[in-house]
């Protein structure tokens, strides 16, 4: 095993605490370090790892091919500036050697040696950042970003830059209410999970930060599994079943999602950071192999269907439990 | 605008409070004092939406005061406090503060933010109700939102008047006569474009007038906003948790959650959010009436009264017997 591989395992946010999984309003305060069987994660909001430059190059390519991945309704411009000015200092603190931020009032100078970026802009002045604050933010952090406006007693997904969606589409969801966004998800409406989540989010006060995890599975290290590109990746779910390389191709995909109440704009900033670990990498931690095998075997059919696991679930369980 | 919250400790016990130094005191007009507050060692303070307030420790009580800045991250907060000789004492406490004094404040709380989709913002302020409106006007100028401000003040006692003139130009109209002000408010409500939102802060009769006139003129309720301090979870009454299995008694003081009290008594309870949403910390109740304050239990479960989310909920009765 290479060192790059083990670093990926060591910081992987393995999400299962028991042998079964159900939907919950599983939110906890951000920045709480978590210890796992292989290492740990979660001390900060942004998690810059060895795949940083590769993933940002991939985001740029996806966006160039399909600019609709970045959406912003006109009233969300303040929120976009707010997200940028909240998260750049966060990135500067996470990578003190490789990045730097100088502020002279509203005049900000940002340097990022990891990507070779150097930019000066004026906060609030759209002309000083022609691609827009949201697109610029998305070029600097690995997380997908959704910004939700709060009004009329609801949250609205009115802006976002999402290139690494797990089978959904920002272009389709823009302008929807939080409850509508979650329309396709089974069980959560009856169980009150999303209603509770929305009430909780609407009560967050300026600067409050929470996080949660979500998971699914993906064939190959493919981050862009958006609805828009389904034709490119959908059939792999079927084809992977007979492939001897299945344990290397099938990945557990875990999203660490942050929920932050932005101060200036009052918007909710939803960050989705996607981590992929192949079954073979996962199996280097025997506890994870056993537990994920059990979770996958026990998962109710409707949830497995919704997550798109049905085709290969049995094959994955077989491999995991054979070890 | 000021609101006295009855109990001290009105915020969650784990709410990280700010320690602030009085860096300046400005007596702009008689009876109204502005405090400039900074971190003792300097440094940025949390950003906040326009119309936010902080809850300041004022001796034996806590008062909420509007922040008057535009809300961008900066090194100082300003609050303006009207001395109320007949009030409960919070304003007198503030008026005794001097440069160099240290005060404790909550982080900013937002309950009166502008609506981002509004095409025009009509701001209406009476007296010291100008404070959240100053914040709104500053942010509107910074972010180039369309707005106007109608401000009624007593002759010679218009807090922040010069500042507002400079900031707003002809978007400000100030009145010293109440009938003229009310006529102007009515006229504005009658002819502003569709998509306008109105925000009001001031004496109760002014708020009532705006709400009634807007309703009469057919304004939908979502476009009318009045500054009212939202009830955060209060500290709650003290009670005793009786643990049925061990027979031990755990006192739960005001300001401490049942979950924290149990943990301090060495009783481990699973928990995650500590906010009453995740459902992890549910504890079975044998007797006593729970005071439900969570978002998790359904109406039926609440009515059954046989379980409590111990991170936020408390007890109606002096004792709550838990199946622990
Ligand atoms: C506490 C907060 C939240 C909870 C409890 C929650 C819960 C969930 C759950 C259980 C799913 C199904 C996931 C799966 O099985 O793969 C889901 C999907 C999703 N969530 Fe959330 N969510 C939260 C916040 C958000 C926010 C802030 C957004 C931003 C718009 C969001 C957008 C989505 C989207 C786009 C999907 C996919 C829906 C589809 O299939 O089209 N969620 N969420
Ligand atoms: S800890 Fe989440 S509901 Fe109490």
Mutate to test the interface with A, among B51, B53, B118, B278 (most CBs of A within 10 A): B278
Q: Which residue has the higher pLDDT, B6 or A256?
A: A256
pLDDT for position B88:
56
Q: Would residue B170 count as lying in a domain?
A: yes
CATH at B154: 3.40.50.80
- Look at A140-144, A304-308, B93-97, B136-140 and tell me which has the smallest mean pLDDT: B93-97
Point out the domain boundary residue: B207, B227, B247: B227
Same domain, B124 and B223: yes
Distance CA A155, CA B97 (A): 41
Does B11 score more than 50 pLDDT?
no
Annotated catalytic residues of A are 212
Whether the CB of B7 is below 8 Å from some CB of chain A: the reply is no
Distance CA A277, CA A299 (A): 19
Same domain, B96 and B168: no
What's the number of domains chain B is made of?
Answer: 3
Pairing of strands B61-66, B2-5: antiparallel
Q: Which residues line ligand 2 (CB under 6 A)?
A: B 271-274, 276-281, 294, 296, 309, 311
Q: Would residue B2 count as lying in a domain?
A: no
Q: Would residue B39 count as lying in a domain?
A: yes
- The closest residue, in CA terms, to atom 3 on ligand 2 is B276
B56, containing H or E segment: strand B53-58
Whether the CB of B271 is below 8 Å from some CB of chain A: the reply is no
What distance in Å separates residue B66's CA from the closest CA in chain A?
Answer: 14
Q: Which residue segment(s) compose the domain that B247 sits in? A: 239-322
What value, to the nearest 5°, has the Cα angle with vertex A232 and ends A226 and A233? 70
- The closest residue, in CA terms, to atom 5 on ligand 1 is A25
Same domain, B207 and B264: no
- Look at A165-169, B82-86, B163-167 and tell me which has the smallest mean pLDDT: B82-86
Is A262 close to B47, i.e. CB distance below 8 A? yes
pLDDT for position A5:
58
Q: Would residue B110 count as lying in a domain?
A: no
Distance CA A313, CA A298 (A): 11
Count of H-run helices and E-run strands, chain A? 14, 13
Q: Quick: pLDDT tens for B111-163.
A: 899 999 999 999 999 999 999 999 999 999 999 999 999 999 988 889 999 99
Per-residue pLDDT, averaged over B23-52, amounts to 94
User: Whose CA is closest to B314, among B234, B244, B247?
Assistant: B234
Whether the CB of B275 is below 8 Å from some CB of chain A: the reply is yes
Q: Would residue B153 count as lying in a domain?
A: yes
Does B96 score more than 60 pLDDT?
yes
Nearest bound ligand to the CA of residue B275: 2
Does B1 score more than 80 pLDDT?
no
Same domain, B91 and B17: yes
Q: Quick: pLDDT tens for A74-104.
A: 999 999 999 999 999 999 999 999 999 999 9
Same domain, B210 and B283: no
Per-residue pLDDT, averaged over A230-234, amounts to 96
Same domain, B219 and B247: no
Does A1 score more than 60 pLDDT?
no
Confidence grade of residue B300 (pLDDT, cut at 50, 70, 90): confident
ipTM of the complex: 0.92
Distance CA B141, CA B124 (A): 16
CATH at B30: 2.40.30.10
pLDDT for position B12:
36
Mutate to test the interface with B, among A25, A30, A126, A127 (most CBs of B within 10 A): A25
**What contacts A248, CB < 8 A, 6 or more positions away?**
A278, A279, A280
Confidence grade of residue B229 (pLDDT, cut at 50, 70, 90): very low
Per-residue pLDDT, averaged over A295-300, amounts to 98
Confidence grade of residue B236 (pLDDT, cut at 50, 70, 90): confident
pLDDT for position B278:
82
Query: What is the phi/psi pair of residue A72, to 5°?
Result: -150, 110
Is B73 close to A192, i.e. CB distance below 8 A? no
Whether the CB of B196 is below 8 Å from some CB of chain A: the reply is no
pLDDT for position B29:
87
For chain B, what is the mean pLDDT? 88
Query: Which residue in chain A has the smallest CA separation from B223?
Result: A152
Distance CA B52, CA B72 (A): 12
Distance CA A259, CA A249 (A): 31
The alpha carbons of chain A give a radius of gyration, in whole angstroms, of 20
Neighboring chain B residues of A90 at a CB cutoff of 8 Å: none
- Look at A20-24, A267-271, B91-95, B243-247 and tell me which has the smallest mean pLDDT: B91-95
Q: Would residue B34 count as lying in a domain?
A: yes
Q: Quick: pLDDT tens for B244-287.
A: 999 999 999 988 899 999 999 999 998 887 878 788 899 999 99
Is A25 close to B279, i.e. CB distance below 8 A? yes
pLDDT for position B203:
86
Same domain, B142 and B55: no
Same domain, B222 and B141: yes
Per-residue pLDDT, averaged over B294-305, amounts to 84
- Look at B24-33, B174-183, B209-218 and tell me which has the smallest mean pLDDT: B24-33
CATH at B285: 3.10.20.30
Q: Would residue B232 count as lying in a domain?
A: no
Confidence grade of residue B3 (pLDDT, cut at 50, 70, 90): very low
Confidence grade of residue B60 (pLDDT, cut at 50, 70, 90): confident
Same domain, B159 and B180: yes
Same domain, B270 and B223: no
Q: Quick: pLDDT tens for A190-210.
A: 888 999 999 899 999 999 999
Residue B322 CA: distances (Å) to CA of A39, B127, B262: 37, 51, 11
Same domain, B212 and B262: no
Q: Would residue B112 count as lying in a domain?
A: no
Neighboring chain B residues of A199 at a CB cutoff of 8 Å: 277, 295
pLDDT for position A197:
94
**Could you say which of A25, A152, A266 has the minimum Cβ distance to residue B277?**
A25
pLDDT for position A2:
47
B25, containing H or E segment: strand B18-29
Confidence grade of residue B299 (pLDDT, cut at 50, 70, 90): confident
A216 lines ligand 1 (CB under 6 A): yes
What distance in Å separates residue A18's CA from the closest CA in chain B?
Answer: 14
Is B295 close to A199, i.e. CB distance below 8 A? yes
Same domain, B258 and B213: no
pLDDT for position B5:
37
Confidence grade of residue B6 (pLDDT, cut at 50, 70, 90): very low
Q: Quick: pLDDT tens for A161-188.
A: 999 999 999 999 999 999 999 999 999 9
Residue B273 CA: distances (Å) to CA of A32, A272, B160, B293: 12, 19, 42, 14
Nearest bound ligand to the CA of residue B297: 2
């Amino acid at each position: 095993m290479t060192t790059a591989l083990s670093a990926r395992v060591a910081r992987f946010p393995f999400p299962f605490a028991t042998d079964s999984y159900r939907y919950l309003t599983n939110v906890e305060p951000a920045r709480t370090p978590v210890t796992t069987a292989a290492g740990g994660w979660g001390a900060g909001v942004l998690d810059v790892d060895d795949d940083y430059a590769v993933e940002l190059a991939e985001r740029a390519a996806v966006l160039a091919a399909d600019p609709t991945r970045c959406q912003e309704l006109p009233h969300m411009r303040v929120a976009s500036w707010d997200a940028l000015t909240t998260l750049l200092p966060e990135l500067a603190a996470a990578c003190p050697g490789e990045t730097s931020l100088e502020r002279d009032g509203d005049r900000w100078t940002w340097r990022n040696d990891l990507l070779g970026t150097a930019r000066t802009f004026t906060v609030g002045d759209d002309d000083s950042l022609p691609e827009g604050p949201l697109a610029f933010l998305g070029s600097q952090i690995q997380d997908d970003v959704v910004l939700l406006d709060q009004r009329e007693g609801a949250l609205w997904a009115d802006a976002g830059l999402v290139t690494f969606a797990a089978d959904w589409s920002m272009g389709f969801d823009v302008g929807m209410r939080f409850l509508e966004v979650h329309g396709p998800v089974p069980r959560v409406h009856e169980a009150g999970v999303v209603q509770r989540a929305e009430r909780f989010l609407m009560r967050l006060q300026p600067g409050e930060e929470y996080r949660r995890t979500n998971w699914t599975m993906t064939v190959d290290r493919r981050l862009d599994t958006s609805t828009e590109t389904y034709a490119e990746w959908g059939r792999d779910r079927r084809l992977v079943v007979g492939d001897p390389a299945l344990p290397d191709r099938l990945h557990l995909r875990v999203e660490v999602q942050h929920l932050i109440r932005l101060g200036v704009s009052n918007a909710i900033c939803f960050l989705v950071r996607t981590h992929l670990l192949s079954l073979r990498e996962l199996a280097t931690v025997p506890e994870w192999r056993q537990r994920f095998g059990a979770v996958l075997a026990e998962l109710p059919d409707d949830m497995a269907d919704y997550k798109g696991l049905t085709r290969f679930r049995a094959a994955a369980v077989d491999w995991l439990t054979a070890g | 605008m000021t609101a006295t919250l009855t109990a001290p400790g009105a915020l969650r016990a784990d709410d990280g409070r700010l320690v602030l130094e009085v860096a300046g005191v400005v007596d702009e007009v008689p009876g109204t004092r502005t405090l400039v507050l900074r971190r003792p060692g300097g440094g940025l303070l949390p950003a906040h939406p326009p119309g936010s307030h902080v809850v300041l420790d004022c001796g034996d009580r806590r008062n909420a005061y509007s922040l008057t800045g535009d809300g961008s991250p900066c090194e100082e907060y300003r609050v303006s406090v009207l001395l109320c000789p007949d009030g409960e004492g919070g304003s007198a406490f503030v008026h005794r503060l001097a440069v160099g004094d240290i005060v404790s404040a909550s982080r900013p709380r937002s309950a009166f933010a502008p609506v981002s989709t509004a095409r025009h913002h009509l701001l209406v302020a009476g007296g010291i109700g100008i404070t959240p409106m100053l914040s709104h006007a500053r942010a509107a100028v910074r972010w180039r939102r369309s707005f106007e401000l109608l401000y009624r003040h007593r002759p010679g006692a218009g807090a922040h008047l010069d500042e507002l003139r400079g900031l707003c130009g002809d978007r400000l109209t100030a009145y010293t006569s109440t009938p003229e002000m009310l006529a102007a408010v009515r006229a504005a409500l009658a002819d502003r474009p569709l998509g306008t939102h109105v925000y009001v802060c001031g004496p109760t009769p002014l708020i009532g007038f705006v709400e009634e006139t807007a309703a009469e003129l057919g304004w939908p309720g979502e476009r009318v906003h009045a500054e009212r301090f939202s009830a955060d979870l209060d500290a709650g009454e003290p009670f005793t948790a009786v643990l049925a299995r061990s027979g031990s008694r755990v006192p739960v003081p005001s300001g401490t959650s049942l979950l924290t009290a149990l943990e301090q008594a060495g009783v481990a309870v699973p928990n995650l959010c500590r906010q009453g949403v995740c459902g992890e910390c549910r504890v079975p109740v044998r007797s006593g009436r729970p005071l439900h304050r969570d978002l998790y239990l359904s109406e039926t479960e609440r009515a059954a009264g046989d379980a409590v989310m111990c991170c936020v909920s408390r007890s109606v009765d002096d004792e709550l017997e838990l199946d622990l």
